[in-house]
């Protein structure tokens, strides 16, 4: 992926990894449009980054996505990069009776259905351009689950698989398909405590390494910082190694 000269749509760009990516691409001179559900938060981001644009969008709403995709192409015909970043991560207790599905269903709608819908809505436009990029943000937990967040882990495994299939189907086209695989990062994805957790990778370090990888490895299909490699390649450790790592990731169960 080239890091300059783009018009980039980034979902969930109002905080965390999404905001940091948006600011880095904006600083490089790209035209960046971020989405989120709260106008006041989006306005705070764009005020801090003059020239960045924003749009209110609930990615859980299929009709909103369809309408938004049509409008964004009309307003920004040079749009050539989609970064599907919006996501939620909720703990779930599967031992309760009955099991509540509220968080699970919202997680599936946000983390899996939304990027599938957004990608499908924008692909006809992308196919009309000389080149375009779809980047899906998965997680190290796509490859080894955190039992505390079963649906989050499952959606990230699914988005990894979807991204692989999408890349194969589009490999003879002008659309490249990338996957960004974050480790545990200091954001507020699971609350304010995560943002200062010493076990998490500092957000600034993560973004710096990601941008360096994009610059140095423009043909890479997976963007993976060193810290995520043990998770990404957990299966390559063999069954015993995988089980040991799985148990180590889930000591509370």
Query: Is 242 designated active site?
Result: no
Cα separation of 41 and 146, whole Å?
29
Catalytic residue, candidates 152, 162, 184, 242? 152
Adjacent-strand bridge partners of 133: 81, 176
Cα separation of 182 and 228, whole Å?
6
Cα separation of 167 and 93, whole Å?
35
- Of 23, 45, 41, 40, the residue nearest 32 (C-alpha): 23
Structure-token pair, residue 64 = 């909103």
Distance of CA 217 to the CA centre of its chain: 19
Cα separation of 177 and 199, whole Å?
30
Catalytic center residues? 152
């Amino acid at each position: 992926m080239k890091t300059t000269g783009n018009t980039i749509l980034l979902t969930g760009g109002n905080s965390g990894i999404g905001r940091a990516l948006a600011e880095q691409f904006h600083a490089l001179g790209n035209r960046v449009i971020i989405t989120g559900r709260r106008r006041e938060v989006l306005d705070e981001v764009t005020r801090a980054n003059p020239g960045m644009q924003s749009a209110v969008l609930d990615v859980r709403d299929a009709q909103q996505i369809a309408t938004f995709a049509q409008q964004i192409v009309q307003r920004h015909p040079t749009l050539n990069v989609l970064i599907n970043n919006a996501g939620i991560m909720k703990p779930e207790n599967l031992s309760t009776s009955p099991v509540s599905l509220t968080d699970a269903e919202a997680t599936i709608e946000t983390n899996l259905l939304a990027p599938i819908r957004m990608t499908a809505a924008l692909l006809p436009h992308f196919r009309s351009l000389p080149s375009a990029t779809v980047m899906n943000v998965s997680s190290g937990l796509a490859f080894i689950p955190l039992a505390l967040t079963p649906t989050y882990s499952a959606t990230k495994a699914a988005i990894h698989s979807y991204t692989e299939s999408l890349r194969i189907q589009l490999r003879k086209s002008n659309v490249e398909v990338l996957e960004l695989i974050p480790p545990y990062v200091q954001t507020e994805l699971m609350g304010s405590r995560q943002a200062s957790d010493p076990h998490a990778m500092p957000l600034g370090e993560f973004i710096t390494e990601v941008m360096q990888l994009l610059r140095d490895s423009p043909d890479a299909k997976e963007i993976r910082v060193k810290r995520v490699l043990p998770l990404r390649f957990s299966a390559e450790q063999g069954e015993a190694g995988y089980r040991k790592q799985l148990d180590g990731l889930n000591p509370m169960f």
